[in-house]
Amino acid sequence: MHAVGTAGPRIDGMEQTMGRTKYTDDMTLPGMLIGRLARSTQAHARIISIDTSAAEALDGVKAVLVGTDLPITYGILPVSQDETALAVGKVRHVGEPIAAVAAIDAETAERAVDLIKATYEPLDTVASIDGALLEDRDLIHGEGKGLNVHRTAALEFGDVDEGLASADHIREDVFYFAGNTHAALELHAALATAEPGGRVTLWSSTQVPHYVHRTLAKVLEMPAGQIRVVAAPVGGGFGGKTDPFSHEIVAAKLAMVTGRPVKFTLTREEVFYAHRGRHPVLMWVKTGFDTEGRITACHFKTFLEGGAFGSYGAASLYYTGALQTSTYQIPNYRFEGVRVFTNKPPCGPKRGHGTPQPRFALECQLDKAAEDLGIDPVAIRLINAVEPNSMTVNHLRITSCALSECIERVAEASGFKEKFENLPAGKGVGIAVGAYMCGAGLPIYFNEMPQSEVQIKVDRGGGVTVFSMATDIGQGSTTMLATVVAEVLGLEPSDIAMVTADTDLTPVDLGSYSSRVTFMGGNAALEAGTAVKDRVFAAVADKLGAPIESLVAQNGRIEDAEEPDTGVSWAEAVALAIASGGPLIESGSYRAPKLAGPYKGAGVGISPAYSYSAAVVEVDCDPDTGIVTVDKVWLAHDIGQSINPLLVEGQIEGGVYMGLGEALFEADDFRGALHRGPSLLDYKMPTSLDMPPVEAILIDSDDPEGPFGAKEVGQGPLLPVIPAVANAIWNALGIRMDQTPFTPDKIVAALRDVARGKPGRFGPKEVPAFEFPPLIMVEPPEGFPTGRIHIEVGVS
Amino acid sequence: MTESILRLTVNGALHTVVTSSHRTLLEVLRKDLDMTGTKHGCDLGECGACTVLVDSKPMLSCITLASQVEGREITTIEGLSDGPFPDELQTAFSELGAAQCGYCTPGMILSSRSLLDTNPDPTTDDINEALAGNLCRCTGYVAIISAVHLAATRTLGRAE
């Protein structure tokens, strides 16, 4: 392979570094108006009135909208259509949009927003998991009072009671993972135009143009064919731009109403209210072990604080239970979960979507069990590690899997064993692992259509243009697609022109979420590229009188491998193909194999493949101040095959960084239902001074279904980092951090407890008494754990 | 709203701008001069995305009034390259993957330029210190630090 596996720059790298990339907020259209949103000052209240007359009368204001102008509900999931573009009837969190203004400039729009007067009748504010589980509070969704429960799940695989009864050692632990946010540097923005004929175009900083397209069609009551959505280059996403948003819908509507382009750019404070960040999750975990540390059964309960809307929450809930089994052979497993509504900005998916929280709990508990049993933390992970080509008890199909190798390599590279036993007090090392999906196995809207489609058009001069709705959010998906096609056609990635993320021009790719683009978009590009190659090879074979099988595409030429001198240039080959077969336009697609197990909720967690990671973190802790300094992180990642190792390492470094931020600093902090610090000054994230060196170790497990064997890297590497920090703090100070983030106050509090002779631990002590629904009992897969593994080579 | 006439020297060219007197340098660059390479990330001087050079020193254009920098040399990312020829930092950032989403990149490169102008052979600690006011959410700073080292090495003509 000449292109795949080669470390190279992004194909748009120089455009970025020379400041030429046009993000949504960088675009201006003639006559463009500026939009602003008026937002709720109340956490939970009935709207008595919204008076927009003064705003409408202000010179320079062209239109004002309120909730009743856009009353149709929407939401990213078909099962959670509970949002409106502007609040209708009631408000559910501080910062919820209640009205929108379009004016000739930002200053006028802002003044108009200040002139909008809303009156409210307050309702009970629900601001915690405990509060949501009280029966006498006003419902956030629905009328009257009751439990503010959004969704529940209760599943059992195998026999947990029997598994626990057979255990030699049982641990019961409680953990809390604080909510936090993406804080992508680019503020959310949207720019809309409406043509006189009625067509609407929206440019947006979105990770999911396809779902924004669907939402606009629904809410604007227009045929999808009359709407064009373009995702401009996205200045960071991390899951924060994966929902359809109020400002996108309102921009389109205001453009229709005013007949002029309208642009919205949220302020940083507004981005905190738009949110969709990491759910706060309270967890209770009971796990049985045999004397060698093998897990005999696990019972996992999660309590998710969802904020004011559904968003991805129904899926997030199941994700807090789905992937525990993807790394460890858990023969009996019970998962009970509940997601509640609270009057806070809505939570959603952030890098790892619902899995970093339980991963933190599981990896910390495993560390404690190892300590109890006198086993080292590496050994307990190796003895439980899942094997390639196996089934999990909850019906996940595991194919390529280099988890054990990840653990061994990272332990060896870091000198874990030596350090674990010998580092002086205050210094320590911790280890943890993780796994993540290479794309959700099911699309959000269940259907039989492909999840990714790619089209390739070849110009008569040999120019190759790839069309795909895949959305580059910084992860490098555009470069990845160009590399796959270049590999197939014997060209260089920089030879390929890319047209992406435009519903008018590009065939569907569902979007940049669930780490799906390399696997699914990459496979579609591979199929499309192969179709182009087949046509070109047929024409060249005819011309040269050589058998097709002996042709190769390399160095910009199509050559007979036996007699390279007789080949033709790529451009000549293309001309031959067009002359013999007409326009050289081919397409490819990818649809994941059907993998869901036989139970409700089985759609969450299934994936055509899983990436694996293991991390070792070395810390230096100051017992007086409680400050934890991370000295180094080693991270081994089973990538299957790197399409571009430079970009893969960048994702690992970024995942490690974001994990360290969540471990040590980052939390959305509320006073009641009011965000205490919706700014980048108050929301503490790591700077260059806080970032340790990262040693990335790439392991190629060559996935049987991935494009060239590739798997994901965007989300997986974050997962082990957070528990590895907690476990390192234990090794350094002898205290257990069972609650994120591990801030100095928590460290000092736990150390003070130790000094008073109490256990050194910071974290919640119990979970609310909540009656989960009756368990759905699910038989493990036939022949578990080896099962019947069906691998679909060349799935399309 | 009072308007004023500002004379700003941006990337070596004198621009006369009629604009509201309370506009920040960021707003004037982006809205009046259509130089959108300078990014808007927070409005409060917290993230560094809006960094430009004023007399070769990094300044946060979102908390600087345009009227404060009349008569001074303002350099934005568009002016760092010599026409089509990029600065060593721009090349190094691209080559090493120091830009992922690219949004912090202009500010990051300008802060790095200012560092290399005063300290052509910085240590990693020097770089970390110089870039501590420029937040990046994608890279973990790892590739950025390497890119600054690479640009310094090339500028000094040392072996890479």
Q: How many CB atoms lie within 10 A of CB B56?
A: 12
CA–CA separation, A522 and A470 (whole Å): 10
Enumerate residues 348 to 367 of chain A having a beta carbon within 8 A of any beta carbon in chain B.
none
Picking from A70, A63, A179, A161, the residue whose alpha carbon sits closest to that of residue A112 is: A63
Considering only A267-276, A765-774, A783-792, which range has the smallest mean pLDDT? A783-792
pLDDT digits (tens, 9 = 90+) for A179-229: 999 999 999 999 999 999 999 999 999 999 999 999 999 999 999 999 999
Enumerate residues 742 to 771 of chain A having a beta carbon within 8 A of any beta carbon in chain B.
none
Contacts of B30 in chain A (CB under 8 A): 26
Q: Which of A105, A185, A269 to mutate to test the interface with B (most CBs of B within 10 A)?
A: A185
Rounded to whole angstroms, what are the CA distances from B21 to A106, B6, B41?
Answer: 15, 9, 22
**A475–B100 C-beta distance less than 8 A:** yes
pLDDT recorded at residue A566: 87
CATH number for the region B3-80 comes to 3.10.20.30
Using pLDDT thresholds of 50, 70 and 90, give the confidence band for residue A513.
very high
Q: How many CB atoms lie within 10 A of CB A301?
A: 22
* Token output for A234: 């996205």
Q: How do A33-39 and A262-265 pair as beta strands?
A: parallel
pLDDT recorded at residue B2: 84
Asked if pLDDT for residue A788 goes beyond 70, the answer is: no
Contacts of A681 in chain B (CB under 8 A): 44, 46
A174 to chain B, any CB pair closer than 8 A? The answer is no
Q: Closest residue of B to A270, CA-based?
A: B42
* Token output for A542: 């005819």
pLDDT recorded at residue A796: 40
Residue type, A97: P
Q: How do B73-75 and B3-10 pair as beta strands?
A: parallel
pLDDT digits (tens, 9 = 90+) for A160-169: 999 999 999 9
Whole-number percent of chain A with pLDDT over 90: 97
Using CB atoms within 10 A of its CB, is residue B68 exposed (0-12), middle (13-18) or buried (19+)?
A: exposed
Using pLDDT thresholds of 50, 70 and 90, give the confidence band for residue A785.
confident
**A26–B132 C-beta distance less than 8 A:** no
* Token output for A677: 């610090």
Enumerate residues 67 to 96 of chain B having a beta carbon within 8 A of any beta carbon in chain A.
76-78, 80-81, 86, 89-91, 93-96
Picking from A723, A581, A596, the residue whose alpha carbon sits closest to that of residue A664 is: A723
Contacts of B44 in chain A (CB under 8 A): 268, 679-681
* Token output for A711: 């798997």
Asked if pLDDT for residue B23 goes beyond 80, the answer is: yes
Q: How many CB atoms lie within 10 A of CB A475?
A: 30
pLDDT recorded at residue A795: 46
CA angle A358, A514, A487 (to 5 degrees): 135
* Token output for A1: 């392979």
Q: Closest residue of A to B138, CA-based?
A: A654
A684 to chain B, any CB pair closer than 8 A? The answer is no
- Closest chain B C-alpha to A740 CA, distance in angstroms: 19
**Burial state string for A717-756 with b = 16 or more CB within 10 A and e = fewer than 16:** bbbbbbbbbbbbbbbbbebbbbbbbbbeebbbebbeeeee
Residue type, B121: D
Picking from A244, A250, A299, the residue whose alpha carbon sits closest to that of residue A274 is: A244
Residue ranges per domain, chain A? 31-123+205-253, 124-181+275-353+766-796, 408-434+607-753, 449-590
Backbone angles phi, psi at A420, to 5 degrees: -60, -40
pLDDT digits (tens, 9 = 90+) for A350-409: 999 999 999 999 999 999 999 999 999 999 999 999 999 999 999 999 999 999 999 999
Q: Is A407 helix (H, G, I), strand (E, B) or coil?
A: helix
Backbone angles phi, psi at A137, to 5 degrees: -105, 150
* Token output for B96: 């090493």
B51 to chain A, any CB pair closer than 8 A? The answer is no
Residue ranges per domain, chain B? 3-80, 88-155
Q: Closest residue of A to B38, CA-based?
A: A19
Q: Closest residue of A to B49, CA-based?
A: A185
**B95–A649 C-beta distance less than 8 A:** no
Residue type, A271: V
Look up residue A267 and give its DSSP letter: -
CA–CA separation, A34 and A192 (whole Å): 11
B144 to chain A, any CB pair closer than 8 A? The answer is yes
Whole-number percent of chain B with pLDDT over 70: 99
Enumerate residues 625 to 654 of chain A having a beta carbon within 8 A of any beta carbon in chain B.
646-647, 649-650, 653-654
Q: How many CB atoms lie within 10 A of CB A134?
A: 15
Q: Which CATH number fits domain A31-123+205-253: 3.40.430.10, 3.40.1410.10, 3.20.20.70, 3.90.1170.50?
A: 3.90.1170.50
Q: Is A168 helix (H, G, I), strand (E, B) or coil?
A: coil
Q: Tell whether omega for the bond before A785 is within 30 degrees of 0, i.e. cis.
A: yes
Residue type, A186: E
Picking from A499, A386, A474, the residue whose alpha carbon sits closest to that of residue A433 is: A386
How much is the ipTM here? 0.98
CA–CA separation, A681 and A679 (whole Å): 5
Q: How many CB atoms lie within 10 A of CB B1?
A: 10
CA–CA separation, A754 and A228 (whole Å): 61
pLDDT digits (tens, 9 = 90+) for A522-569: 999 999 999 999 999 999 999 999 999 999 999 999 999 988 888 999
Q: Is A406 helix (H, G, I), strand (E, B) or coil?
A: helix
Question: DSSP assignment of B22-81, as one string?
Answer: T-BHHHIIIIIS--TTS--S-SSSSS-TTEEEETTEEEEGGGSBGGGGTTSEEE-HHHHS
Asked if pLDDT for residue A251 goes beyond 50, the answer is: yes
Q: Per DSSP, which regions of A195-345 are E strands? A: 200-204, 227-231, 262-265, 281-289, 295-305, 333-340
Residues in chain B: 160
Enumerate residues 213 to 252 of chain A having a beta carbon within 8 A of any beta carbon in chain B.
233-238
Rounded to whole angstroms, what are the CA distances from A263 to A36, A111, A116, A191, A789?
Answer: 9, 17, 20, 4, 51
CA–CA separation, B50 and B63 (whole Å): 9
CA–CA separation, A14 and A166 (whole Å): 61
CA–CA separation, A672 and A127 (whole Å): 6
* Token output for B129: 């210190």
**A18–B46 C-beta distance less than 8 A:** no
Fold match between A124-181+275-353+766-796 and A408-434+607-753?
Answer: yes
CA–CA separation, A110 and A155 (whole Å): 50
- Report chain A's terminal Cα–Cα distance, integer Å: 22
CA–CA separation, A543 and A551 (whole Å): 12
Domain A124-181+275-353+766-796 has CATH 3.30.365.10: yes
CA–CA separation, B159 and B157 (whole Å): 7
Q: Is A618 helix (H, G, I), strand (E, B) or coil?
A: strand
**A691–B91 C-beta distance less than 8 A:** no
**B139 → closest Cβ in A20, A23, A653:** A653
* Token output for A767: 């979970």
Dihedral Cα A441, A443, A447, A453, nearest 10 deg: -90
Look up residue A449 and give its DSSP letter: S
Q: Which CATH number fits domain B88-155: 1.10.150.120, 3.30.360.10, 3.30.930.10, 1.20.140.10?
A: 1.10.150.120
CA–CA separation, A503 and A733 (whole Å): 54
- Closest chain B C-alpha to A545 CA, distance in angstroms: 42
Is there a contact between A186 and B41 (Cβ–Cβ < 8 Å)? Answer: yes
CA–CA separation, B117 and B112 (whole Å): 9
B137 to chain A, any CB pair closer than 8 A? The answer is yes
Q: Is the dihedral of CA B119, B124, B130, B136 positive or negative?
A: positive
Residue type, A263: K
pLDDT digits (tens, 9 = 90+) for A259-318: 999 999 999 999 999 999 999 999 999 999 999 999 999 999 999 999 999 999 999 999
CA–CA separation, A34 and A264 (whole Å): 6
Q: Which CATH number fits domain A449-590: 3.40.140.10, 3.30.365.10, 2.60.120.10, 2.40.50.100?
A: 3.30.365.10
Asked if pLDDT for residue A643 goes beyond 50, the answer is: yes
pLDDT recorded at residue A787: 64
Instruction: Outline where A288-436 has alpha helix (H).
Output: 313-322, 356-373, 377-384, 403-414, 416-422
Taking the mean position of all CA atoms in its chain, how far away is CA A275? 14
Residue-averaged pLDDT of chain A: 97
Backbone angles phi, psi at A14, to 5 degrees: -70, -35
**B86–A16 C-beta distance less than 8 A:** no
* Token output for A430: 């911790």
Q: Which CATH number fits domain A408-434+607-753: 3.40.190.10, 3.30.365.10, 1.10.1740.110, 1.10.1040.10?
A: 3.30.365.10
